[in-house]
Structure formats: structure tokens, C-alpha cells
């Protein structure tokens, strides 16, 4: 059974002019949207880069520490490597929640207003 695509939307959206884009870009509401994004994304990106570089530097220069066996054949390097994946997925999940709660409603309001819905 093939899934059918929904029918095309019959709504006509007004295309904003370049002046309207500039006006929205300079608005306090858009500034708040950018601040919300940057205050979340920039610190988290810096923290993750530091975490990743720590892993790389320890792997290169602290072989004895990274080779320390924790249990069985599992060593510190393996645990740190797995934690790289875990933190990547946690950050993606956390950003998704942040965007849904704080960014998407503001962006949708701006989009609706620009397309003539408000």
C-alpha cells in the first residue's frame, strides 16, 4: 500500500518585498529570536568543540591514561569515544526541545506576519 501525498495547498502566500525583509530583520522581535538562538547554540558549540579537542589531545599525548583498562577490554579511550556519540545525540535532542519551545513559535509568528496572515 503506497502512501499518498497530501493535495497541494490552495493557500496563496504574499511574497514579502526586500524592504519588508529589511524591516523585519531590524525589528526587536527578530533580534530576540537571534539572541535566543545564539545564547543556546554558541556556548554549546564551544563546549562541544573543547570536549572533542580534549578527547583528541588526550588520545595523542596521554596514551597511558587513555589506555587505562576500566574493566575487561574496555579502556578510558573507548569510554570517551562512546561519550562523544552520546553527547552529540544529547545536544541534538536538547537543541530540538529548545527550538520547539523557544525558537519555532517566534519564527512562525514572524513568518505568518510576513506572509500576510496577521
Question: For 70-115, what is each residue's pLDDT tens digit?
Answer: 999 999 999 999 999 999 999 999 999 999 999 999 999 988 888 8
- What value does the mean pLDDT of the chain take? 89
**C-beta of residue 30 within 8 angstroms of C-beta of residue 21:** no
Q: Predicted confidence band at 2 (pLDDT cuts at 50, 70, 90)? A: low
Residue 16 CB: number of other CB atoms within 10 A? 16
Site of grid cell 509568528: 109
Q: Predicted confidence band at 54 (pLDDT cuts at 50, 70, 90)? A: very high
Confidence at residue 21, expressed as pLDDT on a 0 to 100 scale: 83
Residue 24 CB: number of other CB atoms within 10 A? 16
Confidence at residue 38, expressed as pLDDT on a 0 to 100 scale: 95
**C-beta of residue 102 within 8 angstroms of C-beta of residue 96:** no
Q: Give how far Cα 108 sits from Cα of 17, 51, 117, Å.
A: 18, 34, 11
**C-beta of residue 44 within 8 angstroms of C-beta of residue 91:** yes
Amino acid at each position: 500500500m503506497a502512501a499518498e501525498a497530501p493535495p497541494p495547498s490552495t493557500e496563496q502566500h504574499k511574497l514579502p518585498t526586500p524592504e519588508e525583509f529589511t524591516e523585519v530583520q531590524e525589528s526587536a522581535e527578530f533580534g530576540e529570536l537571534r539572541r535566543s538562538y545564539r545564547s543556546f547554540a554558541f556556548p554549546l558549540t564551544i563546549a562541544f568543540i573543547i570536549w572533542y579537542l580534549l578527547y583528541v589531545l588526550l588520545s595523542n599525548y596521554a596514551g597511558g591514561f587513555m589506555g587505562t583498562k576500566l574493566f575487561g577490554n574496555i579502556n578510558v579511550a573507548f569510554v570517551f569515544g562512546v561519550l562523544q556519540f552520546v553527547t552529540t545525540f544529547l545536544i541534538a535532542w536538547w537543541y530540538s526541545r529548545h527550538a520547539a519551545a523557544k525558537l519555532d513559535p517566534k519564527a512562525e509568528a514572524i513568518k505568518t506576519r510576513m506572509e500576510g496572515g496577521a
